[in-house]
Amino acid sequence: MYKNIGHRLASNLSNGYFNEDFSKHHVQLSTLQRTILAAGSAAVSLVDPFRGDMIACLGETTGKYSLNYCLEKMKLSDEGHKILLEKPRINTKTIDMTYLENLPDGTLGKTYHNFLKINNVTPDSRDHVKFIDDIELAYVMQRYREVHDIFHAVLVMPTTMLGEVTVKWVEALQTRLPMCIGGALFGASRLRPRQRQLYIDHHLPWAINTGKKSNFLLSTYFEKRWDQTLDDFHREMNIQPLV
């Protein structure tokens, strides 16, 4: 269902758009600085898992090898390779939200739009990558951040703690990012008793199965699939929705 054609956007998605942002926000770190930031952000993230800035910092300072793994996985598919070549961005400047709103119910784009509206979130909230020196790996991390909410939408998982931990398991198994592994392992400790039972009985086994058996979601050029039905997408990606 991937369409290798132009897709509807509100502005240009050229490679240079990301390169410019990278140059503007990049911060060079020494080995010592990187170690201190990694340790500090890990400690704060454990105490307060809603500190998005600390989780972002943790991901950037500990994710080099996992990002290399993701980069190589993306290169293996035409769709992933196209993403790396064009470096598209997902925010309200690049995505025509009115177009998504007017798509038929049950399409990927409408599902994503509804997810943002219901959960009162915006694609503009994702931090810029700062502490990754390699521009290709920096883009992979940026892409991961910007499609995270789309993962929630297509996996039909809300932004509750249970939904977040479930998505983190899928991401951990697919990307191998330490911050995702940590979020999956330690996030469950914050679940309420009712949520914990659902997690053990249903969400955890489903997330592990989905993470291992579904296609590599980070290689999905979502912007070229907005009009694809969610049912079609699930079949293509080998995802069995959790009922």
The maximal CA–CA distance of the chain, rounded, in angstroms, is 52
Indicate if the alpha-carbon torsion angle 173, 177, 178, 179 is positive or negative: negative
Does the annotation list 148 as a binding residue?
Answer: yes
**pLDDT tens, position by position, for the chain (243 residues)?**
766 544 444 434 445 588 888 888 887 878 888 788 778 777 776 666 667 677 777 777 888 999 999 999 999 999 999 999 999 999 999 999 999 999 999 999 999 999 999 999 999 988 889 889 999 999 999 999 999 999 999 999 999 999 999 999 999 999 999 989 988 998 898 899 999 999 999 999 999 999 999 999 999 999 999 999 999 999 999 999 997
Q: Model's pTM, two decimal places?
A: 0.90
Q: Is 133 annotated as a binding residue?
A: no
Contact 117/129 with Cβ under 8 angstroms?
A: no
Q: Does 231 count as an annotated binding residue?
A: no
Alpha helical stretches, state H, 155-221: 161-175, 178-187, 193-198, 204-213
Determine contact, residues 74/219, Cβ cutoff 8 Å.
yes
152 is an annotated ligand-binding site residue: yes
